[in-house]
Structure 1
């Protein structure tokens, strides 16, 4: 039995509104972390809430992509590469902590993880390339690419000392530059985890095709405009 068209239309609208509300609350939480860190005058410290939140998001991203690798065979190799890449970023974020061993020690585990991640990918080159193609054609790939651009390009350019020195002149305060750079990185990490979660949800749909097919049938009842 199919639901009335008006009911399906209302459900689609409510579903979109629900997604917006969830993402709005999520991003409001990210902004709250930044506000708290600024109020506590603790932005650049390794123990700041911003830094700890970045690490938490990276941990979630690493494990989410590991879960995707187990659930979706088509993008398994690509998901393993993504998981390894973000694990290296997490190690890089822990550079100050790892400096306790010796200065620059973070490079040792980072290189080890890089080797353990890339070697299997190169060994299965054709499968890896196909897997990457599937991953880049997924719905969540656009958000992942935008978030990576925000993290690796925009945040670096936006956080350049020269920019903020020119903007503030003689009243230059380094903490302002740090707030701008670290908050942008935090937003990027939050979007990266959202994209990883999107990959995970798609993998779950493929594991339970019957449930997703029922939803798709219901969505087809929405009248085309």
Structure 2
């Protein structure tokens, strides 16, 4: 079987349906941020409000999808391990305030190291196989979405949410809550793109899995 995108075709109708779903989720994010700002003044953009909880939810779903793809479908196990380690570490990082308060200060750093180091060691030990898998994944819509989400969350949101930017915009009317809102909502949109990428990865992995079964049954 050829490892190209044409070997695992996607229907136009399915693509349109998913695009519509992603659009609806994007609209829900914007509406949720508005409702949080308008009706939750005491919790606005805190760890217990819509934006932060949705970030955690998106990361949890993305990790669950990766576990399914890796363990059940057995598609690109090294690539999915690296993605799972990265998103798992991000999920732990999002809980830093709770871990610092209820476990120990900097506990999240220990957990992140415990996730990242063994995973990267495993991938390094299987470097050749990882390179092959990455070459196949590189031609997918999923990787494009993941890259967009990565830069949105881990680069743009940080730069856009700098205090200096919002002080320059608002001048003497500067409010820290506005700065936090801008950063957290952009970050949430980045996590949404990453979740979309993992959904696309799941659907692609299912097509690859079915193609493998058909190839096995016909041989």
TM-score (norm: length of structure 2): 0.84
**2:161/2:179 contact within 8 Å kept:** yes
Please list every run of 5 or more consecutive structure 2 residues that lacks an aligned counterpart in the other structure: 1-10, 215-219
CA contact (8 A) 2:75 2:209 kept: no
Superposition map of 1:7-18 within 5 A: 12=12, 17-18=16-17
After superposition, residues 145-164 of structure 1 pair within 5 angstroms as 145-164=147-166
Residue in 2 that maps onto 1:91: 92
Cα offset for 1:22?
A: 2.2
| Pair 1:149–1:126, CA change in 2 (3 A) | same
Q: Residue 187 and residue 152 in structure 1: after superposition, are their counterparts in 2 closer, same or farther (change >3 A)?
A: same
Could you give the per-residue CA deviations for residues 33-52 of structure 1, whole angstroms, max 9, x where no partner exists? Answer: 21122121233311111111
1:55-87 deviations in whole A, cap 9, x for unaligned?
A: 010001111112222355452200111011100
Residue in 2 aligned with 1:176? 178
Larger Rg: 1
8 Å Cα contact 2:36/2:45 also seen in 1: no
Gaps of 5+ in 1: 1-10, 213-225
SS in structure 2 of the partner of residue 137 of structure 1: coil
Residue correspondence of structure 1 range 137-152 to structure 2 within 5 A: 137-152=139-154
Which of 182, 189, 192 is matched with 1:190 structurally? Answer: 192
**Alpha-carbon distance in 2 for matches of 1:28, 1:58:** 19
Partner of 1:125: 127
Partner of 1:58: 59
1:116 is the counterpart of 2:118:
yes
Query: Corresponding residue for 1:76?
Result: 77
**Does structure 1 residue 107 correspond to structure 2 residue 106?**
no
SS in 1 for 2:76: helix
TM superposition outliers: structure 1 runs of 4+ over 6 Å? none
Change over 3 Å in CA distance of 1:15–1:137 after alignment to 2: closer
Q: Secondary structure at the match of 1:102?
A: coil
Give me the whole-angstrom Cα distance separating, in 2, the residues matched to 1:157 and 1:103.
26
**Which residue of structure 2 aligns with residue 45 of structure 1?**
46
Q: Which structure's relative contact order is higher, taking Cα pairs within 8 Å and 6+ residues apart?
A: 1
Counterpart of 1:135 in structure 2 is 137
State whether residues 81 and 118 of structure 1, in contact with CA within 8 Å, keep that contact through their aligned partners in structure 2.
yes
Q: State how far apart, in whole Å, the 2-side matches of 1:208 and 1:128 are.
A: 22
Instruction: Tell me how far apart the structure 1 counterparts of residues 162 and 71 of structure 2 sit (CA, whole Å).
Output: 40
